[in-house]
Amino acid sequence: MQRIAVIGAGTMGRVHSEAYSRIPNAELVAVCDSHAEAAKELASKYGAAAYADVGRLFEDGGFDIVDICTPTNTHLDYIKLAAQAGKHICCEKPLARTTGQAMEAVRVCEEADVTLFPAQVLRWFPEFRKLHDLIKSGAIGDPVEVRTSRCSAYPRGTDDWFADMKRSGGVVLDMIIHDFDWLRWCFGKVRRVYARGLYESGIPHTDYALVTLRFEGGVIAHVEGNWAKAGGFETSVEVAGTKGLLSFASKDSAPITIELKSKEEGKIGVTVPESPTRESPYYLELKHFVNCIEENRKPDVTAEDGMEAVRTGEAALRSISTGQPVALA
């Protein structure tokens, strides 16, 4: 049984707490948030202790895992506290605000011999897992070009912290970092990044970015992120290969389709679990992490994966600022 302390009682803290409450070998024992009432409200729902002071949380102890669900710019400080206390760590994406911070997070956890798990949940969404498996199976031949789009209304966090680009990294670091990680899972190392967007525009509560990635194997990906959409969340993917096209759109009734170049084959539908799934991807993600800790094995998403996603995102922000492409060694 793994005992969990969640730091951050906002949206993701609530999502993670609910998931832990349903994992048989996990027990949520503490919730910490600088807003005391938020901590009390969430903790009372699951019979956990509430803290407004993170120092007091670590003084009392009594937990094995720390789950960090706080604003991006605070992640490194909490990772250091948890590592120094010998606790395994789940950190909501992005792992850190900068590549340097992410590298330091990886280093301190390696030195403390604790597991650092970046919560890049997209890998547990059934559509994206199925897309990955189809790509790897050669269903459309050799992949050549990819387009992804991820759009939502502007997020409203405590103290409106998403609007402070220096804290959140905007749509690039907070939202399409999902796609950066998934694309690297599918296609390997990113070698070149070019981006345009509104990161430094100063337009209130609006952000947009279009990022072009070139991968080591030659695949080119165009990644769109939009925090200016009215209505609900939408995401889509197209993967073009030498033998056909894979496509997915969250708004469509048929989740994934394959269009092969052979006229005899035509368009084929691929069955995937209904979305939203019977089991929340967040539940599946955190269950995987808890099981990895119990069984002393490496999680499917490593600390290095989280660091590389931040590295790609930071390169995109630099490209937006300079108007120039950024090479990644």
Q: Among 145, 229, 220, 223, which Cα is nearest to 181's?
A: 223
Helices (H), 163-247: 165-168, 170-174, 177-187
Q: How confident is the model at residue 200 (pLDDT cuts 50, 70, 90)?
A: confident
Stretch 45-68: mean pLDDT: 98
Q: According to the model, what pLDDT value does residue 272 have? A: 39
How far is the C-alpha of 15 from the C-alpha of 90, rounded, in Å?
13
Helices (H), the chain: 11-21, 36-46, 54-60, 75-84, 99-112, 126-137, 165-168, 170-174, 177-187, 281-295, 303-322
Task: Give the 3-state secondary structure of residue 95.
Answer: coil
φ/ψ of 316, rounded to 5, equals -65, -40
Q: Tell which wins on pLDDT, 155 or 291.
A: 291
Contact 159, 218 (CB under 8 A): no
Order of strands across the sheet that contains 244-249: 267-270, 256-260, 244-249, 234-241, 143-151, 220-226, 208-215, 190-197, 326-327
Q: Tell which wins on pLDDT, 154 or 277.
A: 154
* Location of structure tokens 């119990």: 294
Q: How confident is the model at residue 22 (pLDDT cuts 50, 70, 90)?
A: very high
Least confident of 136-140, 225-229, 258-262: 258-262
Q: Tell which wins on pLDDT, 211 or 204.
A: 211
Contact 18, 45 (CB under 8 A): no
Say how many C-beta atoms besides its own lie within 10 A of residue 318's C-beta: 15
Stretch 98-114: mean pLDDT: 98
- Say whether pLDDT at 13 is over 70: yes
Stretch 53-71: mean pLDDT: 97
All domains of the chain, ordered by start, with CATH? Answer: 2-120+282-289 (3.40.50.720), 123-279+309-327 (3.30.360.10)
Q: According to the model, what pLDDT value does residue 262 have? A: 62
Q: Among 124, 126, 32, 117, which Cα is nearest to 290's?
A: 117
User: Which span out of 30-34, 271-275, 277-281 was modeled with the highest average pLDDT?
Assistant: 30-34
- Say whether pLDDT at 222 is over 50: yes
Provide, rounded to the nearest whole percent, the portion of the chain with pLDDT above 90.
79
Contact 311, 96 (CB under 8 A): no
Contact 165, 200 (CB under 8 A): yes
Q: Which CA distances in Å does 148 have to 37, 172, 212, 246, 301?
A: 39, 13, 10, 12, 21
- Say whether pLDDT at 57 is over 70: yes
Q: According to the model, what pLDDT value does residue 275 have? A: 45
Provide, rounded to the nearest whole percent, the portion of the chain with pLDDT above 70.
94
Cis bond leading into 94, ω under 30°?
A: yes
Task: Give the 3-state secondary structure of residue 280.
Answer: coil
Contact 278, 284 (CB under 8 A): no
How far is the C-alpha of 269 from the C-alpha of 276, rounded, in Å?
18
- Say whether pLDDT at 232 is over 50: yes
pLDDT per position as a tens digit, 240-272: 999 999 999 988 766 788 888 765 445 544 443
Q: According to the model, what pLDDT value does residue 276 have? A: 47
Residue 47 in tokens: 């019979």
- Say whether pLDDT at 327 is over 80: yes
Stretch 83-87: mean pLDDT: 98
pLDDT averaged over every residue in the chain: 92
How far is the C-alpha of 69 from the C-alpha of 84, rounded, in Å?
18
Q: How confident is the model at residue 132 (pLDDT cuts 50, 70, 90)?
A: very high
Helix axes 177-187, 303-322, angle to 10 degrees: 120
Stretch 180-200: mean pLDDT: 95
DSSP state, residue 276: S
Distance of CA 243 to the CA centre of its chain: 30
Q: According to the model, what pLDDT value does residue 253 have? A: 64
Q: Which CA distances in Å does 228 have to 70, 147, 150, 152, 210?
A: 23, 19, 11, 7, 13
Q: Tell which wins on pLDDT, 289 or 170.
A: 289
Indicate the pTM of the whole model.
0.92
